[in-house]
A and B are shown apart, each in its own frame.
Chain A
Amino acid sequence: MQAGKERFEVFDHSPMGVFVIRSDFVVLYWNFCLEEWTGIAPETIVGQSIDAFYPQLTKPRYTIRLQQIFEGGPPVIFSSQLHRYIIPVPYIDGKMRIQHTTVSAILDRQTNEHDALFAIQDVTELTFRMHDYRAMRDQALAEVNERKKAEAKMQASLHEKEILLKEIHHRVKNNLQIISSLLDLQTDHISDENSLRFFKQSQARIRSIAYIHEKLYQSEDLTKVDFKEYLLALSQGIFHAFGIFPDEIDLVFDIQDISLSLKAAVPCGLILNEIMTNSIKHAFSGLFENGAHEIKPRIEISLTQSTKKCYELTICDNGKGLPENFQMDSLDTLGLQLVNMLVGQLKGTIEFCNKRPGAYFHISFYDLG
């Protein structure tokens, strides 16, 4: 056995636990590191069968693989996850030292037999840290999953609310249409021209609001109205209400792709309704009849964004122009009084004048919705 000591004594300086056994499982060498871990001195164990100290090593789980080593075969690995330890050694807090072991065949030149050299790496700290890391990672992943679930729930709830909002806009539009139709029915029993005009104007105003709700439930964004689309629909609606065919009056649009909030869109739509109606009713009467004028009646509408929340709406025609001494604040017609009030509601300003030819209205307003 002294020969074994000399053959392997270089392993006394190794930080790994190293021991060597013969094919009959007799211990040939036991290094200092193992003595420190186990408290078993080399003098006690060398020359004895390992079975007397660590009987599990002679179980088939190990012997089946060690057999190849004694035949000079390739090294064998006993990993820490699958075996925990080869040599049970207490660590701290009643835990055992976790080990990763590699066994290699070492040729004894005197006997021409192969011995098994066990090199045991202590991976206890590494394992604990890895477990801590895994626990931390699992916790982080669980939190991420929780967050994802909450987000998905929120998305679902948002989607539900969007559907609900669409439904509300749809119903508001339908109700406004019903009111408009009721007014229409009522007009059948009105013979007084003035009253009839008031009914028609009210109908047009209601329709201008109904279009807003229609555009809202048709749009992706339930808080904004695509104003270009809205203006096209509204102006066609006004023409239809007055029985005007598209080729009778040219409608010229210069409208940027602008979306307005519901808060700004309703007054803005009503303003447009009043001014356009005003033009249709007054601007062209008697002017273009019987080919008296070479130029075709025209209404121009432009809407541009000047700053982040400020917009410019211009409506002009090529008609007779505004009456002399025309004043917005002393108007006695409801339509233009309404325009004045709505501009105030939009925190805007209105300018008007006569261009040669025709009336010109310019409104600057804010969308603070």
Chain B
Amino acid sequence: MIDLTAEQVDALKEIINLGVGRAAGIMNEMVQSHIKLQVPFIKIVGLRELHEEMMTLSNERLSIVRLRFNGSIPGMASLVFPTDSVFKLISILTEDDIDTSDLDELKIGTLSEVGNIVLNGVMGSIANLLQQHLDYSIPSFREDTVDTILASDYDDADAVVLIARTRFTIEELKLNGDIILLFKMSSFEFLMQEIDAMIQEPKGKWN
């Protein structure tokens, strides 16, 4: 397990907040309401903690948008939505009433786009930091239980995952909800090296 220093956590949080901030900007361009996306905390965890964290979202079914990437550091970025957040977000974006009945093809398309916006925002920040070329797959959507998602996407017992809890708030509508960003990488070492370099050169590429 990687133990992050307070400075590393702050730097990573800043990078991810930058990414979700960009994503929020894109969403605001699309809808009338002002959507705020914030990352209250990040952690690098093993499978057991990941399971616990995901269970805090829902012990039933979760929706997940995944983006695999290849290149020098292969991995996968996922955005996990608990059911109530899913329906809230869809209603805000489509300006329809909250319809909690079921997740049909049209709603899945919308959610895939939301996931795509957030993941691309954050991947943009991370790829910028890594300065590595990555090849991306087409984002995919699935809805399943926490256990099934973990068994298929995080089947490696030694898997290490970066979790970024993300909170969306729409003040005008007094709405908020939580989503989770997950990054699984073949190695976090390279990422951490770059983070350390960034900490040492604060006036570098981030400012």
Contacts and interface: CB of A to CB of B under 8 A. Distances in A.
A102 interface: yes
A75 to B, nearest CB: 5
A82 B93 contact: yes
A304 interface: no
Nearest to A126: B105
Give the interface residue-count category, chain B: 20 to 34
Interface of A: 60-61, 64-65, 68, 72-82, 100, 102, 104-105, 123, 126-127, 130, 133-134, 137, 141
Interface string B139-180: 100000000000000000000000000000000000000000
B41 interface: no
Nearest to A119: B138
B26 interface: yes
B112 A77 contact: yes
A159 B119 CA distance: 57
A68 B127 CA distance: 11
Given A74-B119, A82-B93, A104 B138 contact: yes
A219 B25 CA distance: 67
B110 A81 contact: yes
B188 interface: no
A85 to B, nearest CB: 13
Contacts of A60: 29
Contact of B112 (A79, A123, A127): A79
B74 interface: no
Contact of B120 (A74, A104, A134, A141): A74
B116 A130 contact: no
B133 A80 contact: no
A98 to B, nearest CB: 9
A25 to B, nearest CB: 18
B116 A76 contact: yes
Interface in B14-31: 25-26, 29-30
11 contacts: A61-B29, A61-B30, A64-B29, A73-B127, A73-B136, A74-B116, A75-B138, A75-B139, A77-B116, A126-B106, A141-B101
